[in-house]
Structure 1
């Protein structure tokens, strides 16, 4: 599609009462996250195209390790894109920045969400979601605090024994106290929340390594965004190690993308009822070295400018 066609679809059709449709974008990192934020887009949720020749849109600048892993982006009601990310392997905080157009970003901020826990080992895979009821954002992530959950101390890799935690904020200046979000008696990371009409679905990774590895994606539900969330479902992924789930509803289908990190490939499963899942990994196509990321929607007028400039 050339620029004139893009303008017609994104700018002219709405003038005649023909509704615009959001464009699917995917935020991700490459390698160890040294060069920062990467973006891809899709017209159908299956074929994904990298932007800017698979080069970074934003270089990391905060944290001791100065990394930008697991970038999660949402569009808030303030018409700002808000992003959080893993700032390093052993940080006690996370990275944050905002943008109106996904091109020019605010000054990066380090949010010390676990500094109050002297022995906390990490803050991994933060995600952000907007709470329509309370008119605030919830940021959540996974952390290991040695000795906090002794019953599962020996089942993770290298002594890691994660649980999910969260904070809330209205302005990204002041934050609530950190609270426990998910503990159902197993090692859990990589949470991602899908908002539905009457419930919230938390996709997660069972990080159990010993005595028998799980390393799969499951889901849990709650009636409020901060929980309590239910016990986890049976695995929805197959006979491979998966991490970094992210879900989008497209038509009548829910698609969960994830990182088959041992296979160095992206995978996906699809469902119409959130109960019965079909592996569609062979139907999706990602170019470049895509790693753990987040799928989100971008208004057409913004997407058109990015695609035209960086396709």
Structure 2
């Protein structure tokens, strides 16, 4: 204790230190005992399928099933399962979409009631109507809880579109974010453009924040290199979204964001893909971000995934696998 403090000030100092330590511990252990977090991810090129990890505090993650696969991909020509996005639907089921191929015009889809047993996999041809579509990358699902409508969105390059941001780098990919909606995953609306930020963009993920929505996405610009995450906001799930913010990640290249609010803090996890490890940033207000990459631990080799909340009962079944 600093000797220059009076006894009264010393007591106040100790109370402050105690509160500070308690606040930081609480910030990293915000989940009730009956709840847990699951991280769905892929490894390598996505050829072996879905991997899962669990956490109680959002910072330390442990692989489930000895880091072996929970579901092997069976659809599309390449039979990959990259960028898995899993959400809990209004029906109580887990709904998952994923990237099936580097160059295909659709995405994969399957459901489960426990993350162990899965339905037959389906191929949803969301860009089949576009002759010049080159790909469908990193699909995600966000539920509009008021209407029961699911927004499915992904990144696609359509050759000849958006020439103002066209480059020959990165195999001349020039992505934008597109979407369809559905209420039953059987019938879908026509594909439309969801967000045009004015730059080559991929890996969008959308979370509800009170009455508004936050979109976190990657600026994929190669010349000059950006490769950083940015955020945009909207009062409606399908937009329009605001101008993208300045980067919320720093010097490293980042992709595949997934976000969750723990207590009063937002955590955004992302794949530091050139460094072959995971990172994270944290914010109380979605405006100011602190890099906490040195505080998170993920299974070795984890790639672009999503985080969801489950019950301890659901986790117990996963731990038995």
**TM-score under structure 2 length normalisation:** 0.89
Structure 2 matches for 1:240-279, cutoff 5 A?
Answer: 240-279=252-291
Structure 2 matches for 1:130-145, cutoff 5 A?
Answer: 130-145=143-158
Give the deviation of 1:299 after TM superposition.
2.2
* Aligned equivalents of 2:280, 2:169: Cα separation in 1: 25
> Structure 1 residue 81 and structure 2 residue 77: aligned?
no
> Structure 1 residue 65 and structure 2 residue 51: aligned?
no
Partner of 1:5: none
Give the deviation of 1:288 after TM superposition.
2.5
Tell me if structure 2 keeps the 8 A contact 1:155–1:187. no
* Aligned equivalents of 1:200, 1:84: Cα separation in 2: 20
Give the deviation of 1:232 after TM superposition.
0.5
* Aligned equivalents of 1:286, 1:154: Cα separation in 2: 34
Partner of 1:93: 106
Q: 1:20 to 1:170 in 2, by over 3 A?
A: farther
Partner of 1:118: 131
Tell me if structure 2 keeps the 8 A contact 1:156–1:187. no
Tell me if structure 2 keeps the 8 A contact 1:256–1:268. yes
Q: Which of residues 199, 224, 235 is equivalent to 2:247?
A: 235
Total equivalences in the alignment: 290
* Higher gyration radius (CA): 2
Q: Which of residues 130, 137, 141 is equivalent to 1:128?
A: 141
> Structure 1 residue 223 and structure 2 residue 235: aligned?
yes
The farther-off stretch of 77-86 and 298-307 is 298-307
- Unaligned 5+ segments in structure 1 are 1-18
Partner of 1:175: 188
Q: What is the CA deviation profile of residues 51-106 of structure 1, one whole-angstrom value per residue up to 9, with x for unaligned ones?
A: 01110000000011110000000001111000000000001000000000000000
Give the deviation of 1:135 after TM superposition.
1.4
Tell me if structure 2 keeps the 8 A contact 1:155–1:209. no
* Aligned equivalents of 1:156, 1:257: Cα separation in 2: 27
Q: Which of residues 67, 79, 102 is equivalent to 2:115?
A: 102
Give the deviation of 1:155 after TM superposition.
6.8
Give the deviation of 1:196 after TM superposition.
1.5
| DSSP 3-state at the match of 1:209 | coil
Tell me if structure 2 keeps the 8 A contact 1:50–1:288. no
- Unaligned 5+ segments in structure 2 are 1-31
* Aligned equivalents of 1:241, 1:193: Cα separation in 2: 20
* Aligned equivalents of 2:87, 2:248: Cα separation in 1: 24
The farther-off stretch of 77-86 and 21-30 is 21-30
Q: 4+ runs of 1 displaced by more than 3 Å?
A: none
* Aligned equivalents of 1:186, 1:262: Cα separation in 2: 21
Structure 2 matches for 1:154-165, cutoff 5 A?
Answer: 154=167, 157-165=170-178
> Structure 1 residue 196 and structure 2 residue 209: aligned?
yes
Partner of 2:52: 39
Give the deviation of 1:156 after TM superposition.
5.0
Q: What is the CA deviation profile of residues 159-186 of structure 1, one whole-angstrom value per residue up to 9, with x for unaligned ones?
A: 1000000001111111110010010210
Give the deviation of 1:133 after TM superposition.
2.6
* Aligned equivalents of 2:132, 2:271: Cα separation in 1: 29
Partner of 2:6: none
Tell me if structure 2 keeps the 8 A contact 1:41–1:51. yes
Give the deviation of 1:23 after TM superposition.
1.0
